[in-house]
Amino acid sequence: MPGVEPAAVPGSPLDDLLHMLGRANSRARHIHAYVSHEDHHMLTHQIHFEGDPLVDTVSEGAIARELIHKTELHDDPAEWEARGLTAPYRTLTCDYVLRPIGFDEVKDPYVLEGFWKQ
């Protein structure tokens, strides 16, 4: 898991304000994902983790529920040893749909070849 990133210097006026507002002085653990493909707009996504107690108290406000993902624990020694690991590990799956370049210029974007309605 990524480390903890403070939102304010401990003991500073901003730290005091965050405590008065009931907000954490640390950001929720997250990973930045940058997804791209030729002829498509790049997507930037923050992946947050289910069960992180800071998700609902971050200083920048509530984190959208669709950004919070459940991880799967792999704690079978045979499974992690087969991957060359020395301890249990977690995985998660995220599905992304990228917007083709030129999508904005088409009156009916679903006429683009290879694009489907969701």
Domains of the chain: 13-107 (2.60.130.10)
Q: Which residue has the higher pLDDT, 36 or 108?
A: 36
pLDDT digits 0-9 by tens, 61-94:
677 788 888 999 999 999 989 999 999 998 988 8
pLDDT digits 0-9 by tens, 19-53:
777 766 677 788 888 999 999 989 888 888 888 87
Distances from the Cα of 70 to the Cαs of 12, 66, 75, 107, in angstroms? 34, 11, 16, 37
**What pLDDT score does 111 carry?**
52
Q: Which residue has the higher pLDDT, 109 or 66?
A: 66
Distance CA 56, CA 48 (A): 11
Confidence of residue 7 (pLDDT cuts 50, 70, 90): low
